Each structure stands twice: as structure tokens, then as C-alpha cells.
Structure 1
Amino acid sequence: MENSVLVGAGYWDGAPVGVATRGLYNLSPDTGDWVSVTDGLPDRAEVRGIARRGSVLYVGTQLGPCRSADGGRSWTLLELPGTERVVWSIMPVGAASLYVGTEGTSIYKSDDDGETWRLLSVPAPTGLVSMGFPTRVVRLAHDPANEQEIYAALEVGGVVRSLDGGETWTDCSAHLIELSRQDHLRSRIGSNTDTEGMLDSHALVVSAAQPGTVMLANRMGLFRSADKGGHWAPMEIGRFSELTYARDLKVSPHDPNTLFGAFSVSANSKRGSLYRSPDLGESWTRFDHDVSIESTLMIIAPSSETPDRVYCAARRGQIFGTEDGGASWREFPLPDGVQGVYALACA
């Protein structure tokens, strides 16, 4: 499955009755064909996280993380010791460390590539919002300049941080809550608090070009912290994009100054857009063109092999890719009307 694209799907509340909302699918850009991947995965697997360390692949499923050493052809379940096993995020660090974030506020760590695990002590952040779905750790990131500095995005609970490889954790949401007092940063949809929008975290990154600086994508847009999550400032994505609901944010593996951002109308919308920034978010331009993104853009996957290959995925099953640095784009719809796309990886 070299040079392939892997897409993971899982259940979501807005899916039409009878639509498939699960599975792991592999695409060959050369043929445009999708193949359902099942060997070793749980039955009716729901995949919400995909990560890579060298030639080894990892996915997060409803029963825990799985690992593949053969390019995704077969998988082995890496059993977690706790009760919260629905994996939403997975992050390899260094040669053998592995972190996974689950439903609830649980984060597990392995120091032997998933053979053994321990549940880290992550306190529920202040201001955690009770919604119509369980809290989940939707994204993990570490500072490339210091592997001990770990950040986690919680939906809907803001951001927590560890500066010692997960041994202790600090809530980084106080200033996000303070910002929600501003009229344009107030939002409530599924709760009785206006802090909901600012704590509705979706993605975060740290670039090697800016050690100690964290960038966060949430319902209200993009935000930057220059002090490891202590304080946050709006990145004002609305100056460049009419769509500001930020679902994903990625740093290019080939240029630490280049960012990719996924912006839509809302969590369940009929419009999405992909933007690129060459200067760590100081300016942005539309990256996708001549394609129609017809639902919320959920995830971006810059290739680890070449800067010319970038793929992105919309919630209702549209997958888009460029092989020439954005000069042209092609759509690869998932088979059988599969929806609920959460995860994407591109070799």
C-alpha cells in the first residue's frame, strides 16, 4: 500500500438513516480504486484516528488502537487497560512512545510501541462543557523541539498540557474562557453556557519553526498561544476566509512555516474550504479549486513523502487530492455512500 491514502470513518449523529458510518478504506491514487481494509480490525470498525511512524501505521478504533507493520494490509489490536477504549486520537513520539486519547478525558501512554500501556492522570479541565455526546480527546500534539511537551485538544473542554511527558497535566483553558466573554466569541448550541464555542477544540499543532507556540483550531476559528497555552490570541482567519469554523490544522512535513487549515460553516454544513499559509498563519490563501466541497471539511493529510501531494476529506464522504502542489485537484468519493469521515493519512 505504498503511496496510498487511508481514510477512517465512524458514527456521527447527523448521518442519514441507513448510511454506512464506519470502516477503514485504502485508495491507490494511480487507479482511483477504494478497498475496504478489515484484516485484524474489530468487527464493524469505527476509525477516528490514523498515525504513522516510519513504515508502521496506527489507527484508533472503538475497541482501542491497532498497529500495522505491513503497510496497512493487516492489523493487530493493542489492548488498553482501562474502561475508556474508544480512541479519537493517536500520536507516535520518538522511537517507541505512543499516546492515545479516548472518549472521556483519558490519555494512555506506551513506551514500547503499544505492547504495554498506562493510564495517565489527566484531571477534567475547568469549564468542561456537558454536551449531548461524551467528552473526547480529539487531537494530541507535541513540541518538535521537546518531546516531553504534550498538548491535548478536548471536545468540548479546551486544552490541557503536560511538560513532562504526561506525568503531570495543566489546564490551559482559563484564557479561552475569558475570551468567550467577547460578543463575537460567544457560542452555545448544545449547552447552557456561552463558553461552549471557545472550548469546542478540534485540532492543535506546534511547529518546529516556533517552539513553545501552540496553534488551536476550534469552533470560533484559529487561536495562537506563545506561552505554551497560558494565553491565547485570535489568528483572525476571518480576514482571509468567509468560513471560520475550524476543524483541522496541520503543519507541512516539508516546511515548518507552511500551515494547512480546514474551514467550514459549522459541524454539519454543506460547504467547506481548504486554505494554505506560507508564514505560520500570518496570511492565508484558498488552496482547493475546481472542486465542490459539499459538507464540513474534517481532516487534512499532507504527504510525508512529497510536498506536492495533499489530501483532505469532508464529513459526508468526499475525498480530494492534489499531486502537483495544488495546481489541479481530483475528487475520490468513498464507496457505497460511506459518511462520517474523521481520519485521513497520506503517504
Structure 2
Amino acid sequence: MTTCAPSRANILASAAPMPRAAPLISATFPASLMSPPIAGHVWPGVLSYRRNVRRKDTTMANPSRPSRVYVGVGSFTSGKRPGIFRRVGDGGWEQLTKGLPEATKVQAITVDPTNPDIIYIGTHDGPYRSKNGGDSWERLALPESGLQVWSVLVHPSDPRRIYAGTSPVGVFRSDDGGDTWRRLPKAILPERVKMGFACRVMRLAADPARPETIWAGLEVGGIMKTDDGGETWTDCTADLVKLADRPHLKSRIVSDTEIEGMLDIHAVALTRANPGVPYAAIRMGLFQSTDGGARWRDMEVGRFSPLTYGRDIRVSPQDPRVLYACLSPAARSQDGSLYRSDDVGETWTRFDHGVKAETTMMAVALHPTDADRVYCVSRTGQVFGTEDGGRSWREHRLPDGVEDIYALACA
């Protein structure tokens, strides 16, 4: 393991726990109670949201090519079995169970960009694959047992090459579409924070301008990257630790150190419009690096949104300048939102007009060929969809009792 910056072991060794409670709480923020923005800043996304509220549409667009939306459920409160659900066009939700064990917790869903019938899912029981759009599944055996899969990446230049990120932390690679796997032995980071759960690789993202460069975001552990397809890895976390010295970027919920929030990585994305620059959705907001991970910049999304907990970030498949981000008050909250940037993250506006998430917004999914089709999902199963570029939205709620949603995809 190499590092993107000089070692900060001395800083970590001297870090002492702070006595105050974590700054993040689960709460709802009605407009009437919202704190005013920082002097000189405005929240144009909020203003845009108020100006452009539209009634929910009652029909789905383009019925000749209906979207297939997939949602991964981690748990139910009502005793129902978790798993993966599919909705086709205006149809209802159906649970896809053939070939999956009982109570499969689905934590990642990735559709092969070259063949929408091929889908990979990450579960608490390892990776699974479908070759028929989810009608049936087959288990893909990793060489080690007892690993949960939290992320799956299909290599952008070679759809037969698949990466799987696990908990406990590991990255596995397949060169035959998932039939066989090998562990990438150097894909690991030092433990900087002790949590009540094993650290996990939440997102794997390839640089479209240089596909052999792959970034990995760890919850709660930091960020690492490889420039050679996974054979060697570089620790890109040191500056995130340094940023946690700033008062507004300190956060601890489980551990005894306030660097915890800056190491709580949920998603990483890269775009051809800004080659080599990773964008990260972190507990403390949205961040980017322009020097390969040596230094990170706070994108200050709080200038545009009252909600800054970053859960997901994606790049439009049709326009590399367009980014989408899921923003909420906290990991478990009573609010959530979807924001869009048309200038590679410089400015943001509220995109999910006229809908109300009752819990944290967990994921966004973008149709691979139709830029007008965008979907997002809340933690407890509200799936919101637009098929006309955000002018109208519909809510497609999952069955009652959904407790934890981790994954969303569409084809």
C-alpha cells in the first residue's frame, strides 16, 4: 500500500476523542424552521424547488420502451423477506426470488452496460448474477466464505471483467464475467476508526478516461485507488483526516474520534468532463480531488442545499457535465432530496420537484440511454421516478414494512 500524501500517523496517534455529542441528528427540517444561510450564500436549489413545484403525473412516458427498475432491500420490519424487487413500466413491484436463498439482503445492484439482461447483485451471501433480467439468479462463489458484497463494478472497457467490494474490506476481480474470482491482495487500508461493524467497500468506480484507474470508497475507512486494474493500491485518505480538523467537518456517532464523519464514504464517481477527478459523497458533504487523491476540496454543497449528508453521487450517462447527488440530514432522518448539477459540481439545484421523502434519500439511478429517466429511493421504500427530465414525478412505494434500502438500478 502506498499513500497519496505523507503519512499522518503521528496526527492519528495523538487524536483524542471529543466530549461533545455527534453533530448529526435524525430530524426533519420544515422550511419555516430552516436556519438562514451563511452570509453571502443562497440556496438556489430551495428557491427553484418552490418556484417549480408541479403536480405528480399520472402516466409513465414512452410506454413502448418501459423502464425496468430494481431495488435492493436489506430488511423488513413486518417479518417479510428482504431481497430484490423489480418494476417494469407501469406494472407493480414483484420480488425476484428464483435462485436466491431465503431472506437475501441485497446491498448492491449493477446492470451490465452492454447487456441490460445481465445483472449483478451484492448480498450478505456474496455475489449473484442474472442473465435474464432478474427472472432467475445464480450464485457466484468467491474463493473465501463469510464475505458480504457491498459494491459491484463492470469494467467500462471489458464487460467480462467484474470487481466486487466486500465487508470485511476486500476487492475481488473476475475476468470471465463472474465465473471465477481472485482476491486483489493489496486492496486494504489501515484501520483509523473503530466502528461497531466491519468496514465495507461501498463503491467502486472506474475513471472513464483511464479505465485501469479504479477508486474505492470505504464505510467507515476512507478512499483508495488503483492505477493498474487492481494489482496495487494507493491510500488517498490522509487529507480527509486533515479536513476533519475543521469544526464543521467533525463528526462521531459510534467511534471515539471525530475524524469518523470524513471517513464515512458512501459513493465515488468520475466523469469524462473532468478527467482524473473523483467526486465523493461523504457523511459530511460532497468532496473532490484534482491531484489524484493527495488533497480533497469541500465542494460546499451547503451553499445550495440545507441538507448536506451525502449518500450517493452519479454521472449522467448521456452528458458528462451532469451530476446527481442524494442529500439528507443524516443516515436515519425524516427528510431527503435529489440534487442536480449541470456544471460538474460547481452549482446545484433541487431536482425532485413536488415529492416528499419521508426518510433519508439513499440512492439515485440513471437510465443508460434515456436522460429523461431518473429514479431515486428513500431508506424506507419510497421510489420516485421521472420520465420527462424532472418536469413530473411519480411515487412507486415498495410493500409496507421496508426498513433499509441500499441499492437502486434501472435499465
> Secondary structure of 1:24's match?
strand
Count of residues in Structure 1 that have an aligned counterpart in Structure 2 = 342
1:27 to 62, 77, 87: 87
Q: Indicate yes or no: 2:366 matched with 1:307.
A: no
> Secondary structure of 1:108's match?
strand
TM-score by length of 2: 0.81
Conserved 8 A contact 2:187-2:232: no
Distance apart, 1:146 and its partner CA: 1.3
Superposed counterparts of 1:265-304, under 5 Å: 265-304=329-368
Q: Deviations over 1:278-315 (max 9, x none)?
A: 01100110000111101000000011120010000100
2:405 to 308, 325, 341: 341
Letter in 1 for 2:385: G
Query: For residues 206 and 291 of structure 1, what CA distance do their matches in structure 2 show?
Result: 28
Please name the residue that 2:168 is paired with: 104
Greater Rg over alpha carbons, structure = 2
Conserved 8 A contact 1:42-1:61: no
Q: Deviations over 1:80-117 (max 9, x none)?
A: 01134211000010231000001111110001111110
Conserved 8 A contact 1:84-1:102: no
Query: For residues 125 and 45 of structure 1, what CA distance do their matches in structure 2 show?
Result: 28
Structure 1: 4+ residue segments shifted above 6 A: none
Conserved 8 A contact 2:81-2:102: no
Q: 1:145 to 1:123 in 2, by over 3 A?
A: closer
Which runs of 5 or more structure 1 residues have no equivalent in the other structure?
A: none
1:74 to 136, 147, 151: 136
Q: Indicate yes or no: 2:106 matched with 1:44.
A: no
Please name the residue that 1:328 is paired with: 392
Q: 1:46 to 1:232 in 2, by over 3 A?
A: same
Please name the residue that 1:221 is paired with: 285
Please name the residue that 1:65 is paired with: 127
Query: For residues 38 and 313 of structure 1, what CA distance do their matches in structure 2 show?
Result: 21
Q: Structure 1 residues 230-239 or 61-70, which shifts more?
A: 61-70
Distance apart, 1:129 and its partner CA: 1.4
Please name the residue that 1:85 is paired with: 147
Letter in 2 for 1:247: R
Conserved 8 A contact 2:209-2:275: yes
Distance apart, 1:2 and its partner CA: 6.2
Answer 1 or 2: higher relative contact order, Cα 8 Å, separation at least 6: 2
Query: For residues 69 and 182 of structure 2, what CA distance do their matches in structure 1 show?
Result: 31
> Secondary structure of 1:142's match?
strand
> Secondary structure of 1:177's match?
helix
Query: For residues 79 and 324 of structure 2, what CA distance do their matches in structure 1 show?
Result: 30
Letter in 1 for 2:261: G
> Secondary structure of 1:184's match?
helix
Q: 1:65 to 1:223 in 2, by over 3 A?
A: same
Distance apart, 1:126 and its partner CA: 3.6
> Secondary structure of 2:239's match?
helix
Conserved 8 A contact 1:84-1:104: no
Q: Deviations over 1:116-168 (max 9, x none)?
A: 10011235424531111111101100101111101100000010111110001
> Secondary structure of 1:332's match?
strand
Conserved 8 A contact 1:2-1:71: no
Which runs of 5 or more structure 2 residues have no equivalent in the other structure?
A: 1-64
Q: 1:218 to 1:292 in 2, by over 3 A?
A: same
Query: For residues 275 and 113 of structure 1, what CA distance do their matches in structure 2 show?
Result: 34
1:204 to 247, 268, 272: 268
Query: For residues 3 and 267 of structure 1, what CA distance do their matches in structure 2 show?
Result: 28
Distance apart, 1:175 and its partner CA: 0.3
Letter in 2 for 1:206: L
TM-score by length of 1: 0.95
Query: For residues 20 and 151 of structure 1, what CA distance do their matches in structure 2 show?
Result: 35
Conserved 8 A contact 1:310-1:323: yes
Aligned residues with identical type, % of pairs = 49
Aligned-CA RMSD value: 1.5
Q: Deviations over 1:227-247 (max 9, x none)?
A: 121110001100000000000
